[in-house]
A and B are shown apart, each in its own frame.
Chain A
Amino acid sequence: MIVVPCPNCGPRNSSDLRNAGEVAPRPDPETASLTEWRSYLYLRENPAGWVTETWYCRSGCRRYFTIERNTATNEIRESENS
């Protein structure tokens, strides 16, 4: 079980939440090339280590928030509302 600290609800079982994936900055739609759009939509770093992720608290406050999680150990060190 992974315990994820929701900034509104407090620590919750990860089954109460949904992982929305790594945070990827959205490129400017006016100037982004096709390669940049493809990278934004489909490509992620997927490191074995620290990553900044978006999670959705589906059973609790129904808010999106970001956390820093170590994908190798599931250690979590920060969370804040998106």
Chain B
Amino acid sequence: MSELEFVSPVASGPLSAAGGGISLEDVSDRTKVLVRAGRDTAAGTHLKVTYGRSRRRRDGALICGSRPDEWTLLADPGQGTELLASLPDEGFVSVVDITHGRAMFRLSGLDTVGVLAKVCNIDLTDDMTPDGAVFSGSVAKVTCDLVRNDLADRRSYLVSCERSFGAYLFAAIADACSEFGIDVPADLTIH
């Protein structure tokens, strides 16, 4: 799968508000690898992250504890083969490159909580979802996996969903951003 050219489900480029309060970027081309394994397997021990948390590995891959006994690894585009090879596969372990099956967006800026609060029912306060938190929930009626992955100077979330919902979800989040200063292109309107 990794050798296939990646075609994003989203046709639009990054969107950002003039004041810098919010930006929305399609990062669907990032490598995504799903691991299912018992915590007592070599893979579970290697990944080490509990459900609901994430950590950055030395090679730059972000390891997310996306469900009990399930992890999602996120890395730069084209890293699928390397990621798959880096994981121990002894025991009852499933490792699948899901890069082409998932869409992913990065929402960042001061107004991210305000935008997500319009379309998501998760409590986004720092004590419930601090930097590094991994959680799932409905975003604009689409079941999504979210990672709070703050950048150096601003709050940021990675939002991923099934690829087939990608175009709709990008447009729906862009629509929610319009209240915070983003000019939504005409081809992204959902009304």
| Chain A residues packing against B (C-beta within 8 Å) | 8-9, 13, 15-16, 58-63
**Of A60, A62, A63, the contact of B137 (CB 8 Å cutoff):** A60
- Contact between B135 and A60, CB atoms less than 8 A apart: yes
Report B40 CB to chain A, min CB distance, Å. Answer: 17
Instruction: Select one of A13, A15, A59 contacting B136, CB under 8 A.
Output: A59
User: Is B138 engaged at the interface, CB distance under 8 Å to the other chain?
Assistant: yes
In the bound complex, do residue A61 and residue B121 qualify as a contact, i.e. CB atoms below 8 Å apart? no
Other A-B contacts than A13-B121, A59-B136, 4 sampled, CB-CB below 8 A, are: A8-B51, A9-B136, A15-B138, A59-B138
Instruction: List B residues at the A interface (Cβ < 8 Å).
Output: 51-52, 67-68, 121, 135-138, 143
- What is the predominant secondary structure among interface residues of chain B facing chain A? strand
Chain A residues, Cβ within 8 Å of B51: 8, 61
Give Cα A72–Cα B95 distance, bound, in whole angstroms. Answer: 45
Number of A-B contacts (CB under 8 A): 27
In the complex the two chains form, what is the Cα distance from A63 to B68 in whole Å? 8
Bound form: Cα–Cα A61–B66 in Å: 8
A6–B68 Cα distance when bound, in Å, is 12
CA distance A62 to B136 in the complex (A): 10
* CB <8 Å contact, A8 and B68: yes
Check if A62 sits within 8 Å of B67, measured CB to CB.
yes
Find the A residue at minimum CB distance from B52.
A9
Please give, as numbers and ranges, the residues of chain A lying within 8 Å of B67 by CB-CB distance: 8, 61-63
Whole-angstrom distance from the CB of A36 to the nearest CB of chain B? 34
